[in-house]
Amino acid sequence: MRVIPPVTITDDKYLSSTLPEVASAAYNGAITYALGAKSSVAGALGLITEYESLQAANIGHAPAASPTWWKKLGDTYQVFSMVATYALGERVIDPVAHLVYESFVDGNIGNALTAAVNPPKWLEVGHTNKWALFDLRSNIPTIAPGQLTFTIAPGQRCDSILLYGMVANALEIVGTTSLGVVIYSLSEDLNDREVFDAKDYCFKPFSTKPTVIRFDMPLYSDARFMITLSATAGNVELVHCIIGTNVYVGAVEYNAKCSGDNYSTVDRKFDGNINKMIPRRNVPTNNLTIYIDKFRVRMLRKLIDSLNGTVAAWSGLDDDTDGYFDALVTVGFITHFEFDLDNPVGSLLMLNTESI
């Protein structure tokens, strides 16, 4: 069992991303766009789609209808303005806090996003698409069309990274120093296929690995990591990216349990038949017994105290090819712990974690 206490990614540590946050100027059919130039197209309820020109001398080609001239980079929302009027359900962003808000009322004008009014005028939806992968309060994924590339500089020595909730076919991580010297490289095919018999071999569709964790990154204080997720078709998704320095907790014993609570709601008629069912997510929990050496108890008690009310990455296994690997990975928090001190040379730590 290892835990990665996450480094908080701030503006100065998030060096670049192919996803937009503040959209470029709206597309104008009378303007000639150069190779690599960007423009945007507004949609409904504040949605804005960003495009990048694929050719020079690009004029008169509407982005959404000209895939040979324009590449879609991703979606964002309009920047909030105190003088604009917003409709019910219209969304805006605060690019300083990197948050998305949705209007609770029609004709919404002059109401600050964080104003404490009753009834409320704005609902905080979550982080912007560009920043969602670093939001440890929710499981809303960052979504990009085809490929997502972003670069982070943790600003401290980190030896571990977790990419969780991926939908992609390929992963590449390149680590460099501030001088551009390559210190780490990882390329991984994320395509997966669970085959148990001849029928599966012939007919079962491919899937992709949702989780990759690595504990072997070199410890450079000025390291920066460029991470690329690619899809052969459709969108790339990434729920969480956690980087930090791992702490070895101990060896997970047999009888580990992975359970969960389902938050779907079911409304039944008087005769017991279902009237309405609203599917919602399962929230996994892990109940583990971990053997630890006696001399590690003091350190682990301090670690648990430091992670009180804090989301971290917990991994029961180092080997992501093991069939139990995904079941023993939790991005979440501690709900219960207990040290059994009966053994004079080692302790059993009963540790319960819950996913966010």
Does 159 share its domain with 95? no
Please give the residue range of the domain that contains residue 147: 2-16+135-246
Q: 253-269 pLDDT, tens per residue? A: 988 999 999 999 999 99
Please identify, among 111, 127, 143, the residue that sits at the C-terminal boundary of a domain: 127
Q: 80-99 pLDDT, tens per residue? A: 999 999 999 999 999 999 99
Can you give the CATH number for the domain in which 141 is found?
A: 2.60.120
Does 217 share its domain with 164? yes
Please identify, among 202, 219, 246, the residue that sits at the C-terminal boundary of a domain: 246
pLDDT at 243: 98
Q: Checking phi first, is residue 181 left (phi over 0); if not, alpha (psi -120 to 50) or beta?
A: beta
Cβ contacts of 259 within 8 Å, gap of 6 or more: 284, 285, 286, 287
Can you read off the two tokens belonging to residue 213? 């964790």
Does 313 share its domain with 179? no
Does 8 share its domain with 26? no
Can you give the CATH number for the domain in which 348 is found?
A: 2.40.30
Does 230 share its domain with 259? no
Does 62 share its domain with 197? no
Q: 155-182 pLDDT, tens per residue? A: 999 999 999 999 999 999 999 999 999 9
Does 214 share its domain with 261? no
Can you read off the two tokens belonging to residue 243? 């980087």
Does 168 share its domain with 310? no
Alpha-carbon distance of 106 to 89, in angstroms, equals 8
**Helical (H) or strand (E) element with 200:** helix 198-203
Cβ contacts of 191 within 8 Å, gap of 6 or more: 169, 206, 207, 208, 209
Please identify, among 83, 105, 127, the residue that sits at the C-terminal boundary of a domain: 127
pTM: 0.91
The C-alpha angle with vertex 232 and arms to 230 and 237, in degrees rounded to 5, equals 45
Does 89 share its domain with 106? yes
Does 7 share its domain with 156? yes
pLDDT at 96: 97
Does 6 share its domain with 47? no
Number of independent structural domains in the chain: 3
